[in-house]
Structure 1
Amino acid sequence: MEAATLPKSLGSAIRRRRQALKLSQEDFADHIDMHRAYYSAIERGERNLTLVTLHKVSLGLGVAPSKLLAESGF
């Protein structure tokens, strides 16, 4: 996988997990104390996540960061 496609693939994996929890972007962003617009950009693959942000999102989803990376094909 090319590094340029990782944010989009990771964002898609995050979106699938959030939707499986039946949470809106706004509700989930509030749950993890993140601005809705920033979180939305993560799901669209427009943000290159830091490890801290990836950890924060993965905790909110109840999954290990490594699992999200694996689901994104990385």
Structure 2
Amino acid sequence: MPTLTGNASAMRANGSSIAGISSISTSKTGTLDAAWELDLLGVIKFSNQAAEACLDGKQNDWHTAGVSLALK
């Protein structure tokens, strides 16, 4: 599974005045991280297939319950 995360920030500050001269500092930073999880043994693939099969079963149960109620 690929993931992409990012962060950005900016800061501006007024410094102390020395001899009537003030200082202003500005700082900007940013990061971007990308990652990819290798599925060497197919664990993610099989997990997704199991979740889809479970969903199919729940949908069939829902349909069966609806048919059962309609026949009563």
TM-score, length-scaled by structure 1: 0.27
Greater relative contact order (Cα < 8 A, sep 6+): 1
TM-score, normalized by length of structure 2?
Answer: 0.28
Larger Rg: 2
